[in-house]
């Protein structure tokens, strides 16, 4: 029950942040994949299963908000959520730099996977190299900062 509430809160937070970005700085919207960040945080904190479930939920919302094949982002984010959870169990990714690197690799992987699936299923041309680099970089930087702040708050409260 607690996990369901956490999942819903995470999803709602991502939606609100995405809406805020869309309203305030539209040109930054493609740089920060807030939905994927929520999935990766879920995988980091609660393991691969929670990561996969959050990947499904967030992915389907992304699919609904975007014009394209429904289920594409859902599939890629579910796979990445599971993979991130598995990887986080085996590697220590808690320090700021490691966390940044981990988020960068996962975001880039998701982006490549999504592009591959889009090209394969609907023949959509893949995104340019600039977007391929800029998006994971910006998203992982934001993610590492937020995760660092979250860890600090946790430490302060002795968790």
Q: Which residues bind another protein (CB under 8 A)?
A: 12, 15-16, 18-20, 22-23, 25-27, 29-30, 33-35, 47-49, 52-53, 55-56, 59-75, 78-79, 82, 114, 121-122, 124-125, 127-128
Identity of the residue, 95 or 109, whose beta carbon is nearer to another protein in the bound complex:
109
C-beta of 67: minimal distance to another protein in Å? Answer: 4
Helix residue spans in the chain (DSSP H) = 2-24, 34-46, 48-65, 72-90, 96-122, 129-156
CB of residue 133 to another protein, shortest distance in Å: 15
To another protein, the closest distance from the beta carbon of 157 in angstroms equals 28
For residues 151 and 99, is the Cβ–Cβ distance under 8 A?
no
Give the CA distances from residue 38 to residues 20, 26, 44, 130, 139, in Å, rounded to whole numbers and listed in that order: 16, 20, 10, 24, 11
Inter-CA distances, 41 with 5, 65, 66, 71, 126, Å: 15, 21, 22, 21, 27
CB of 107 to another protein, least distance (A): 13
For another protein, which is the closer residue by CB, 16 or 149? 16
CB closer to another protein, 130 vs 159: 130
In the complex, what is the shortest distance from the CB of residue 154 to another protein, in angstroms, rounded to a whole number?
A: 24
Instruction: Give the nearer residue to another protein in terms of CB position, either 35 or 102.
Output: 35
Nearer to another protein, 65 or 96 (CB): 65
For residue 68, give Cα distances in angstroms to 15, 63, 64, 114: 19, 7, 9, 12
- Give the contacts of 30 (CB within 8 A, at least 6 positions apart): 131, 135
């Amino acid at each position: 029950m607690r996990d369901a509430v956490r999942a819903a809160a995470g999803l709602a937070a991502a939606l609100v942040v995405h809406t805020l970005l869309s309203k305030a700085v539209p040109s930054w919207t493609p740089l920060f994949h807030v939905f994927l960040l929520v999935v990766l945080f879920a995988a980091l904190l609660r393991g691969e299963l929670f990561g996969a479930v959050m990947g499904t939920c967030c992915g389907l919302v992304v699919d609904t908000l975007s014009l394209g094949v429904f289920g594409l982002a859902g599939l890629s984010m579910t796979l990445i959520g599971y993979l991130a959870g598995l990887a986080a169990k085996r590697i220590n990714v808690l320090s700021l730099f490691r966390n940044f690197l981990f988020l960068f690799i996962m975001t880039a992987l998701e982006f490549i996977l999504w592009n591959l699936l889009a090209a394969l299923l609907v023949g959509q041309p893949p995104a340019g190299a600039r977007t391929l680099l800029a998006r994971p970089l910006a998203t992982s930087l934001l993610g590492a900062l937020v995760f660092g702040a979250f860890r600090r708050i946790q430490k302060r409260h002795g968790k």
